[in-house]
């Protein structure tokens, strides 16, 4: 499994040039669950209630453990699957794509629909802003209060901020540490606290 991956940075929409009079508007968005994907799909329907079709696909999880697609009345396999193939081809998960069509009066055939829906999704995913996320592992550190300075210095050097912190006779911090730094960070933490820190990977 890779230590970092790309995700969409936000919602994005792109309308392709018309195909034989039909308009195709692709909308993409990052999602954290199937429910969020369904919400984005319903919003696309409500924003364009007079469109002929709202075909869609989404993938969630990393590694991808859930995906769905819909042709929304277009011939089977002509819309939802090509959209899903573009999400997969771009190496994205936690992503939804809806391609909305306004029928222009001329039938495109299954091949034409595959090209139009897949191409619309591809162009939107090409142009959509993206960001890189780093895979992390959660760590709980409990140490004497006297170790606070040493721990804070180590966090600053690694540009880490605690997810939560409790200060008392002992300090308890919960941290998200990049997976690629897992072993090195633990070794440094034990060294800086002279072995007085209790370190547990959650």
pLDDT digits (tens, 9 = 90+) for 122-171: 999 999 999 988 889 999 999 999 999 999 999 999 999 999 999 888 99
**pLDDT band at 56; cut points 50, 70, 90:** very high
Q: How far apart are CA 91 and CA 5, in angstroms?
A: 9
Query: What are the boundaries of each domain within the chain?
Result: 4-132, 135-201
Domain 135-201: assigned CATH number: 3.30.70.240
Residue for token pair 């170790």: 147
CATH fold for the domain made of 4-132: Ribosomal Protein S5; domain 2 (3.30.230)
Provide the pLDDT for residue 141: 95
pTM: 0.79
Whether residue 64 is predicted with pLDDT greater than 70 in this model: the reply is no
Residue for token pair 């969409």: 8
Structure tokens at 64: 């991808």
Asked, colleague to colleague, whether 4-132 and 135-201 share their fold, the answer is no
């Amino acid at each position: 499994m890779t230590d970092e991956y790309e995700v969409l940075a936000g919602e994005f929409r792109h309308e392709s040039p018309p195909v034989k009079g039909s308009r195709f508007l692709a909308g993409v968005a990052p999602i954290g669950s199937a429910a969020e994907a369904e919400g984005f799909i319903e919003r696309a329907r409500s924003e364009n209630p007079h469109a002929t079709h709202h075909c869609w696909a989404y993938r969630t999880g990393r590694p991808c453990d859930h995906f769905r697609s819909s042709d929304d009345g277009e011939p089977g396999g002509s819309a939802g699957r090509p959209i899903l193939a573009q999400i997969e081809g771009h190496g994205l998960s936690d992503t939804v794509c809806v391609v909305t069509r306004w029928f222009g009066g001329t039938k495109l055939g299954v091949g034409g629909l595959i090209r139009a829906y897949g191409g619309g999704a591809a162009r939107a995913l090409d142009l959509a802003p993206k960001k890189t996320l780093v895979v992390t592992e959660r760590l709980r550190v409990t140490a004497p209060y006297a170790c606070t300075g040493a721990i804070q210095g180590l966090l600053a050097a690694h540009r880490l901020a605690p997810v939560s912190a409790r200060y008392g006779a002992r300090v308890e911090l919960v941290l998200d540490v990049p997976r690629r730094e897992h072993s090195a960070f633990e070794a440094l933490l034990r060294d800086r606290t002279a072995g007085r820190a209790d370190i547990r990977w959650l």
